[in-house]
């Protein structure tokens, strides 16, 4: 059972999701132009926001990268999802791998695999956060407030 979110937290969750997915899209665009280093920054941002979104949906505030990475590990374990468990670790080696690709010592496949894993992790994390349905209703301005959420099942959107 997820805690009921305040209107402020709902708005923040929607903002996190929007920013996270936009950063992910931008990362894809950077990859098409071979700008791996910029892509890495965008992936970090997207993944971090997704983890914070899941935490927020569970009534937890995460402060600092260490707390965010530990929570991602916890969520990955809980859901038996390797991509979530390993996402930050993989991103940490992304820069070195990008350098090797740029120097043409290895093919870009390694980076593409990391990108796919991180993208999968972000998608899965947003599946675990309170609602895509909340998001679409919010965007259509149908959600009046917490009382509306209660009717939908006490804040447990999924």
Write the DSSP assignment of the chain as a string of letters: -PPPPPHHHHHHHHHHHHHHHHHHHHHHHHHHTT-HHHHHHHHHHHHHHHHHHHHHHTT----SHHHHHHHHHHHHHHTT-HHHHHHHHHHHTHHHHHHHHHTTSS-THHHHHHHHHHHHHHHHHHHHSS-HHHHHHHHTT---SHHHHHHTTTT---
CATH classification code of 7-139: 1.20.120.330
Q: What is the pLDDT of residue 125?
A: 96
For the chain, give every domain's residue range.
7-139
Give pLDDT, residue 87. 96
How sure is the predictor about 132, in pLDDT bands with cuts at 50, 70 and 90? low
Q: pLDDT class for 18, splitting at 50, 70, 90?
A: very high
Across the range 1-12, mean pLDDT stands at: 83
């Amino acid at each position: 059972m997820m805690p009921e979110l305040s209107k402020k937290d709902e708005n923040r969750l929607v903002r996190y999701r929007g920013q996270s997915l936009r950063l992910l899209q931008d990362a894809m665009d950077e990859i098409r132009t071979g700008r791996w280093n910029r892509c890495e920054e965008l992936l970090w941002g997207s993944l971090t926001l997704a983890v914070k979104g899941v935490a927020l949906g569970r009534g937890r505030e995460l402060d600092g990268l260490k707390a965010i990475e530990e929570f991602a590990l916890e969520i990955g374990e809980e859901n038996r999802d390797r991509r979530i468990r390993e996402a930050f670790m993989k991103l940490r080696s992304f820069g070195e791998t990008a350098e090797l690709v740029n120097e043409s010592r290895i093919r870009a496949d390694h980076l593409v695999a990391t990108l796919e894993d991180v993208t999968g992790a972000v998608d899965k994390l947003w599946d675990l956060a309170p609602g895509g349905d909340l998001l679409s209703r919010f965007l259509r301005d149908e959600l009046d407030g917490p009382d509306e959420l209660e009717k939908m099942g006490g804040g447990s959107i999924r």
